Amino acid sequence: MNIVRHVLFGALALAACSPTPVAPARPPLEGARIGGPFTLTDQDGRTVSDRDFAGKYRIMYFGYTFCPDVCPTDVQAIGAALKTLEASDPAVAAKVVPVFVTVDPARDTPPVLKAFVSAFHPRMVGLTGTPQQIEAVKKEFAIFSAKGDPAPGGGYLVNHSRQTYLMGPDGKPIALLPQEQGPKAVADEIKRWVR
């Protein structure tokens, strides 16, 4: 009987140490009312809609290029996670489009976005639009943002929520990505859900 217990305990201990993430039966954001149709302008000045991403998983992050610390750190983690996946799991990485949507359309013009997103990943898409278009897409994705205090040296800060969504090929939400935990955590969560 002791041998059986030791074998069972050993098997449980090994299972607990497994480095491969195991997907729960259902995505954590399944059924959430997050996401929806949008029409915006990309970093090359082209009109882009949610339909342009149909059939692809997408990472949706909302921020602004003049952000002094949080946005660059988060977007760097997303870009580095994709580069890691391109090296280890290229088929998975190829199915994912990273998307950065500005919450500061007054300053984040297409050329400004192009310089920003290209610094983090060559396939990252930057999206901007009119203030009304940005407000509409923020509402669809449950994003808060508001102009904040003046920044040191001029300009202003923008207070905003910083959740990062992994959306499915059908445009439905799957999970939140833990960009605040770094590239490995983001890559692991992407591998958990992308099929």
Binding site listing for Cu cation: 67, 71, 160
If we measure between CA atoms, which residue out of 134, 10, 11, 148 comes closest to residue 67?
148
Q: Is there a contact between 152 and 48 (Cβ–Cβ < 8 Å)?
A: no
Those residues whose C-beta lies under 8 Å from the C-beta of residue 171, and which sit 6 or more positions away, are 35, 36, 50, 53, 54
- Residues belonging to the binding site are 67, 71, 160
Contact (Cβ atoms closer than 8 angstroms) between residue 36 and residue 172:
no
- With tokens 């897409």, the residue in question is 137
Place of tokens 């976005």: 113
